[in-house]
Copies of this chain bind each other. A is one copy, B any other.
Amino acid sequence: MTKNRLEAFSDGVLAIIVTIMVLEMKVPHSPEWDAVEPILPVFLSYILSFIFAIIYWNNHHHVIHTIKHVNGKIMWANAHLLFWLSLLPFVSGWMGENHFASKPVMLYGIVALMSGVAYYILEMTIIKSHGPNSLLARAVGQDKKGVVSVVLYSIAVGIALYYPLISCFIYVSVAIMWLIPDKRIENTVE
């Protein structure tokens, strides 16, 4: 298994996830603004999920960049991450169509949480096979940022049934936290 093909396949899946999410915004049959209005929450949900997917794509790149060899465990840890990310169009659509109601917001958080866990597992699988002195190990260490995200998502899931809007606020906060460029890997590589 070469690193390039793992990257190409992951890129393909992520590119399709991003683009397919737009299909949840159903084209209305009327040419009036009224007809577009109900799509607005789906659009907001799409923006969040788009940023979410780009962040994963970006970080995924950094992580795979440090890999020297790919084994079966890394391949499956990567597939596991893609699995959870592939559910994004579904939960994003459900959350948007139901105007950020509690249960859809909760399910969105569960998928975000599991994606975060899967990402963490992928990192640790790579570190385990590349050794504690590997680039990735030195760059992310215990990946505090990843752990914090998972904790925040857990809280968001926990309170979604009562305060779905606070959960949404947490999702946005985690996204912003990741938007701030993460130079750990880049710096270590240099």
**A→B interface (CB under 8 Å):** 1-2, 5, 7-9, 11-20, 22-25, 27-33, 36, 47, 50, 54, 57-58, 61-62, 65, 71-72, 75-76, 79, 82-83, 86-87, 89-90, 93-94, 97-99, 101-104, 107, 179, 181
CB distance from A179 to the nearest CB of B (A): 8
Of chain B, the residue at the smallest CB distance from A23 is: B20
Cα A103 to Cα B37 with chains together (Å): 13
- Among all A-B residue pairs, the 5 with the closest Cβ atoms: A12-B15, A31-B98, A31-B101, A72-B181, A27-B93
Tell whether A58 pairs with B1 under 8 Å between CB atoms, given A11-B8, A27-B93. Answer: yes
Contact (Cβ within 8 A) A31 B102? yes
In the assembled complex, 20 residue pairs joining A and B whose CB atoms fall closer than 8 Å, in A order, are A1-B58, A2-B61, A5-B61, A8-B11, A9-B11, A9-B14, A9-B57, A11-B12, A12-B12, A13-B15, A25-B90, A27-B90, A27-B94, A27-B97, A28-B94, A29-B97, A30-B98, A31-B94, A47-B83, A72-B181
